Amino acid sequence: MIKKTIHNFSLLQICQSGQCFRMFQESDNTYSVIANTKYLEMEQHGNSVIFHCDEEEFAGFWMKYFDLENDYSVYMEQINPRDSYLLHAAAFGAGIRILRQDLWEMIVSFLISQQNNITRIRRCIQNICECYGEQQMNAHGKTYYAFPTPQSLAGLEEDALKECNLGYRSKYVVRTAKSIVSGELDLDEVRRMPYKKAKEELMKLFGVGEKVADCICLFALHHLQAFPIDTHISQALEKHYKRGFPNRRYNGYQGVMQQYIFYYELFGERFDK
């Protein structure tokens, strides 16, 4: 068990932020997450966070996964003091971190995300993990499933994942798995590419457009300059940034600002009323 005092860190906000679909709120202050083959339980009270793992696993994996080496107050301090909307959004979502997640998992997750909502995405991913992922067991003897490998999906018929509620997205995922297994796409090479090159390479995949590629770049490759534009972001830009988002001011970390905006558009209004 590791206990840390962490500022600008909220398990609730990270769980709700739409970047991670295998993190769950178990009770008011307790959360679980599955990443790669690892399972972690956490609890938070204010700035105090308990990670139920040993020091070696925390330092070797979870520190990087939750991006705990970065001070997010530095990003917030750069916000234009005249931009009341972004200041409000950042204050509202100040506990969000950009997670460092697995590239293959993020490719599949955001292929599934198209024309979908967070609840259904979670269910689809849970379905394919239970059907095609390797069974694991946590420290309490509870069964969970690793994310399926490309190899485990590449041999399927293109419509096979419709049984997991993926609908037309089934062919996107199966074809992508085949591309990776055949060597058409080398995940290790993509991991080494700069942002623009990685985005171009990802957009060669069947079903990957600009928004999905940017999500993968941001949440898997940690290219913080990626700025995915979905319906929520598009509406916010139209309302608050008619001349376009000031990318130059936030060069290199636009994606952090995107997450503040996205989270605020999802949840801010209901709390502001």
Token pair for 86: 């972004």
Please say if the pLDDT value at position 273 is more than 80.
no
What mean pLDDT comes out for the span 193-215? 96
pLDDT score of 177 more than 80: yes
Confidence at residue 68, expressed as pLDDT on a 0 to 100 scale: 97
Helix axes 103-112, 118-132, angle to 10 degrees: 130
pLDDT tens across 72-90, in order?
Answer: 999 999 999 999 999 999 9
Percent of the chain past pLDDT 70, that is, above it, reads 98
17, 81, 176 from 86: Cα distances, Å: 16, 9, 36
* 272 band by pLDDT with thresholds 50, 70 and 90: low
Confidence of residue 141 (pLDDT cuts 50, 70, 90): confident
Is 239 an annotated catalytic residue?
no
pTM of the full structure: 0.94
Instruction: Read off the pLDDT of residues 115-128 as tens digits, 9 standing for 90 and up.
Output: 889 999 999 999 99
Catalytic residue among 171, 178, 199, 211: 211
